[in-house]
Amino acid sequence: IRLMGDLLTRPSCLVGYGLQMTGVVPLVAITLIMAVFLVNNLGYPAKQLWLVYLVGGAANLVFARVIGRAIDRLGAGLVSIASTILLSAAIVFGYMGVNPGLPLLLIFSIFFVTSTARLVVTQAITMRIPKAEERAGFQSLGQSIQSISMGASGMAIPFLLGSTDDGKLTGINRFAIGVLVVTWMFPFLIYWLEHLLAQNDRVGAAATLLVEQELPAE
């Protein structure tokens, strides 16, 4: 109970949970309506929906190693900004009717790849938060919070969207703007968390130096 209380009140943990929420909410919100929107609003053939998911999954496989290397070389912050910009473009082009003529398969492949990139960034940086003996508890709480966020996203959709008699979804622009707002919280939380972790590293280094020099800690 004491550990749970610590993990639910420590600033770095709270920012990490916020990252997990803002990373998963856009993905869940958009994918839940994707099939209906593609078929009923954009006229995409229902029998070819499998191709959207196949191409999106294949793109994830192709770019998975690239994403990992980019995080290692450029840092979580830059990758979070780049993936958020591309994800925002996919949402605007795919859902808000501002398509510059790009194929739908390309747009939704970008959506899948950038959503995955944000989840990988989240996992990479949040693993730096807990101590070794806290990792299982931190992971469990994080997964619980993610599940709650996913459920809340699904429950909110019927209140944000409507439909016409022929099945077309209405209120898409309002819905997409809301998703974009949550999407752009992500990189700010990344930089905030990196700042907190850097502070913790400096404090830990100072404490280690004091111990090594056998000086009393103040």
CB atoms within 10 A of CB 7: 21
Q: What is the DSSP string of 7-74?
A: HTT-HHHHHHHHHHHHHHHHHHHHHHHHHHIIIIIT---GGGHHHHHHHHHHHHHHHHHHHHHHHHHH
Q: Residues 4-37: pLDDT tens digits?
A: 888 888 899 999 999 989 988 888 888 889 999 9
What is the pairing mode between strands 162-163 and 169-170? Answer: antiparallel
pLDDT digits (tens, 9 = 90+) for 147-185: 888 888 888 888 889 989 888 999 999 899 999 999 999
Q: Three-state SS for 142?
A: helix
- Read off the pLDDT of residues 28-65 as tens digits, 9 standing for 90 and up: 888 889 999 999 998 889 999 999 999 988 988 888 88
What is the pLDDT at residue 176?
Answer: 92
In this prediction the pTM is 0.85
Q: Is the pLDDT of residue 211 over 80?
A: no
**170 by DSSP, 3-state: which?**
strand
Predicted local confidence at residue 155, as pLDDT: 87
Question: Are 190 and 123 within 8 A, CB to CB?
Answer: no
Residue 218 has pLDDT above 70, yes or no: no
* Closest residue by Cα to residue 83 from 72, 96, 94, 67: 67
pLDDT confidence of residue 100: 75
Other CB atoms within 10 A of residue 122 CB: 25
Q: How many CB atoms lie within 10 A of CB 152?
A: 13
Sign of CA dihedral 73, 26, 126, 53: negative
**pLDDT digits over 60-103, tens only?**
888 888 888 898 898 889 999 999 999 999 999 988 878 778 88
Mean pLDDT (whole number) for 196-216: 66
Q: Which two tokens stand for residue 132?
A: 């070794």
d(CA 26, CA 135): 26
Block residue for tokens 């995409």: 44
53-61 contact pairs (CB < 8 A, 24+): 55/105, 55/108, 55/109, 56/108, 56/109, 56/111, 56/112, 56/113, 57/112, 59/109, 59/112, 59/113, 60/112, 60/113, 60/116
